[in-house]
Structure 1
Amino acid sequence: MPLSPLDIHNKEFSRSFRGYDEDEVDDFLERIIQDYEGLIRQNKDLEENVEHMKEKLRHFTNIEESLSKSIIVAQETAEEVKNNARKEAQLIIKEAEKNADRIVAEALNKSRKMALEVEEVQKHAAIFRARFRSLIQAQLEMLESGDWDKFDRDVSVRSEVPAVRDGYTREYASQEG
């Protein structure tokens, strides 16, 4: 068991014939007591300081553990967010591809319809051209034939007959009006 300042103060030495000077020993013991008390106070202060440092260390260790856990949670959350974003991007891409396929299919259908319509119009145009050509050829043939001379004679005969002319005029007027 360590000595206390009180143990040092109460210590009695036995006296011998040629012993030490009592005042000198008492002064020295007094200095030892003061130093010893200072060391005890310093030791107590250091122990309190160590306890305080241990408390801070526990606090910082808790903070470190919390930060580590927070970092791990943040990393997991970030990874989860990246995975969700990746999945969402894939869904958006698939949806866009579906829309693109649909748009392309619609465009192809419209293109086919338009091609059929163009083909139909070309057929009608060809038929019209053929009919028009036949009509023009028939008209040219009629012009070149001698039937016009007969027609001119028929018209001049009709103009001489008033009843035919009036009937023709009335019929022509009723068609116009």
Structure 2
Amino acid sequence: MPLTPLDIHNKEFGRRLRGYDEDEVNEFLDQVIKDYEALIRENKELQNQVLNLQEKLNHFANIEETLSKTIIVAQEAADEVKNNSKKEAQLIVKEAEKNADRIINEALSKSRKVALEVEELKKQASIYRARFKTLVEAQLDLLSNEGWDSLEGEAPRRREALEQD
């Protein structure tokens, strides 16, 4: 068990002949008691400081651990958001490609229909032109035919005949 200031104060030394000066010894013991008490107080203060610092260290260690966990969770969340964004972007690109393919196919289909209609109209125009040309040629042939001359002379005769009746 450690020595206390009270133990030092109560310590009695045996007497011998030619011993030490009792007042000097008592003064020295008083000084030792004061210094020892100061050391004990300082030791207790340092122990309290050590405890406080240990508590703070534990507190900061907990904060550090919490921050580390938080950083890991945040990194995982960021990675998850990044992966989800990539997946969503891929889905958007696939959807856009599907729409583009559909639009292209519809446009090709419409252009084929228009091309067929144009060809049909060209055929119809060609047929119409041929028929019209034939009709015009027939009319020209009819006009250039000598039968018109006889019709011209016959028309006044018919009028005269009608007038006489």
Q: Could you tell me the TM-score, scaled by structure 2's length? A: 0.88
| Identity value in percent | 63
Of stretches 119-128 and 148-157 in structure 1, the one that deviates more from structure 2 is 148-157
Q: Which residue of 2 aligns with 1:11?
A: 11
CA distance in 2, matches of 1:10, 1:47: 27
Q: Given the alignment of the two structures, is residue 81 of structure 1 paired with residue 81 of structure 2, yes or no? A: yes
Q: Which residue of 1 aligns with 2:106?
A: 106
Q: Which residue of 2 aligns with 1:70?
A: 70
Q: Which residue of 2 aligns with 1:175?
A: none
Q: Which residue of 2 aligns with 1:130?
A: 130
Rate the CA distance shift 1:120–1:75 in 2: closer, same or farther, 3 A.
same
CA distance in 1, matches of 2:15, 2:77: 83
One-letter amino acid of the counterpart of residue 4, structure 1: T
Rate the CA distance shift 1:154–1:13 in 2: closer, same or farther, 3 A.
farther
Q: Which residue of 2 aligns with 1:172?
A: none
Which structure ranks higher in relative contact order (CA pairs < 8 Å, sequence separation ≥ 6)? 2
Cα distance per residue 1:11-30 (max 9 Å; x no partner): 11122222222222212211
One-letter amino acid of the counterpart of residue 13, structure 1: F
Q: Which residue of 2 aligns with 1:60?
A: 60
Q: How many equivalent pairs are there?
A: 163
1:39-58 to 2 correspondences below 5 Å: 39-58=39-58
Rate the CA distance shift 1:129–1:8 in 2: closer, same or farther, 3 A.
same
Q: Residue 161 of structure 1: CA displacement? A: 6.2
Of stretches 83-92 and 11-20 in structure 1, the one that deviates more from structure 2 is 11-20
Structure 1: which 5+ runs fail to align? 164-177
CA distance in 2, matches of 1:38, 1:65: 39
CA distance in 1, matches of 2:14, 2:55: 49
One-letter amino acid of the counterpart of residue 86, structure 1: K
Rate the CA distance shift 1:66–1:119 in 2: closer, same or farther, 3 A.
same
CA distance in 2, matches of 1:17, 1:110: 136
Structure 2: which 5+ runs fail to align? none
CA distance in 2, matches of 1:79, 1:2: 61
Q: Residue 63 of structure 1: CA displacement? A: 1.1
Q: Residue 54 of structure 1: CA displacement? A: 1.1
Q: Which residue of 1 aligns with 2:2?
A: 2
Q: Could you tell me the TM-score, scaled by structure 1's length? A: 0.83
Secondary structure (helix, strand or coil) at the match of 1:2 reads coil
CA distance in 1, matches of 2:48, 2:161: 150
RMSD value over aligned CA atoms?
Answer: 1.9
Rate the CA distance shift 1:154–1:114 in 2: closer, same or farther, 3 A.
farther
